Amino acid sequence: MKRTKYFVLGAAIIGAVVLSVGFGPPVDTDFFFKINKGIDIFGRVYKEISLNYVDEVDPEKFMQAGIKGMLGTLDPYTVFIDKEDGDEVEMLTNGRYGGIGVTIGARDGSVQVISVMDGHAAQRAGIIPGDKIIEIDGTKVADKNSNEVRSYMRGEPGTEVKILIQREGENKPILFVVVREDIRVKNVTYAEFIGNGIAYVRLERFSRKAGDELRQSLKELKLKGEIKGLVLDLRGNPGGLLDAAVDVVSKFVTKGNLIVSTKGRRPESEKQYNSVEEPLLPDVPLIVLVNRSSASASEIVAGAIQDLDRGIVVGTRSFGKGLVQTIVPLNYGAQLKVTTARYYIPSGRSIQEIDYMHKDRNGVFATVPDSLKRAFKTKGGRTVYEYGGITPDSSVTETDPGPMVRELFRKSLFFRFANTYFSARKTAEFTGVNESVMKEFRKYLDDQKFDYKEESDGKVNELRQIAERSHYSKEVLADLDLLSAALEKEKNRGFDRYRNHIERELNIEMMARVKGEAGRIAASLKGDSQLDVALALLKNGKANPHKIKG
């Protein structure tokens, strides 16, 4: 059920009410007849196949395949969640799970520790990023995927888990015995002043405590100094609870303001959510950063701030998910996450991008063309449009690091170099990437025989083949050879051409080893083009929605 797990962890807004009974609008007798008829036929087919098919069928997997098939005709957020995936729902809603506090992922054909949470069991035990996981409680994990390995690590707080790892620079595997604990995942992962009175807060998810964490972060920042401007970073935030989004917006807008409303087929799905508290920062200039990975609850926050003219949105257009999900408990510990409503931000517009109930002749889901999108007005009279996510007030395209840097990421070479570098050194000695580190990294790439493809690779050969078929002169062919040689020479200068991007990404990975996730985020803010624009707007007094034409 890879699809189920993906969407449980992905962009989702879960309503505050959890239904424990059936759902749907009032229906007539014919509709009930169709439902009962469908149940009867489905049950008969399921039973006949399970009992009489020529090969033995696993009844549980067969049933899940049937459920998956039915739900596959709807939107991707309506999913069946079996008992084994219940902890993912707990993490999404309450931001907590039983585990040791590590992030793992596939690297170089093995499952490795990507990051370690500060102050939790794994860090106290001495597990570090780059550790390759060999066994968990005696079970070899070489043929397991990351999700399976993650499930082995999680469990009831207070229970032990034995993890055998291979560490670079160590001849023999190391056995760690770690006691699982209650892991609370942070919503606010970084909050600090980054300029003259300008505060920066990164909000990475919307579990139940998101508003409380934001309140605490803002109070702590106030103790450090006067907040003259604030950047709220929602980039890469896939969303979470609708109530949490309302709570976050309430920290900035006047009490009583409508933040979001919902409407579905049932009358009780029609709700309005207003700010119910006095804001912590009612007048401080505010900028919200978004990108294509900002979805769901993130879009409620960005959209409400935009529609209420409380601040401005900077970045790229957001994902466009305007659907509300509700968790319905089922028998045997299973759950159903079902889309029950659409949400509408203060201007009255929906930001849903895709119409999942309609496809074109090629099987592609329908979207509303720009020419048919209705215009709405913000509180101050600016024009905004429905559908297709939140369009920033100031659009800033994310910087493309180039094909060489993308290939370095794909092959995990920043990560692997950090493993090698720190296996022979103490992290406390590292203060940042300098010329010496860059030279060492370049030598490391040479030793790894690193290569990559430029966009021009192969294009000259294609052009030469066309020239030969078209009987071009020898002079033209010779010029193409010269061009090919010149492009190859330029490719060999890739390290120098992409140096700034390489140095930035390498520094982010290295500082993560020295100062954890806070170090990674702090390093990533340097050279961030979207953040630079936001800072410029705040410093120049232009972070005012009333000065934006629309």
307 is a catalytic site residue: yes
Catalytic residue among 85, 307, 309, 528: 307
144 is a catalytic site residue: no
Q: 237, 231, 373, 374: which is closest to 305 by C-alpha?
A: 231
Tokens found for residue 242: 């609708």
Q: What are the C-alpha distances in Å from 437 to residues 421, 502, 503? A: 9, 12, 9
Report DSSP letters for 439-473, one per residue: HHHHHHHHHTT-----TTTTHHHHHHHHHHHTT--
Q: What are the C-alpha distances in Å from 369 to residues 147, 345, 441? A: 38, 20, 47
Which helix (H) or strand (E) segment holds residue 324: the answer is strand 323-329
The C-alpha atoms of residue 407 and residue 459 are separated, in whole angstroms, by 19
Q: What are phi and psi of 379, to 5 degrees?
A: -60, -35
Q: Is 64 exposed, middle or buried (0-12, 13-18, 19+ CB in 10 A)?
A: middle
Report DSSP letters for 239-283, one per residue: -EEHHHHHHHHTTTS-TT-EEEEEEESSGGG-EEEE--S--SSSS
The C-alpha atoms of residue 253 and residue 378 are separated, in whole angstroms, by 14
Catalytic residue among 132, 209, 321, 337: 321
Catalytic residue among 296, 347, 412, 524: 296
Classify 223 in phi/psi space as left (phi over 0), alpha (psi -120 to 50) or beta: alpha
Tokens found for residue 60: 């549980």
Q: Check: CB of residue 339 under 8 Å from CB of residue 74.
A: yes
Q: Which residues are marked as active site? A: 296, 307, 321
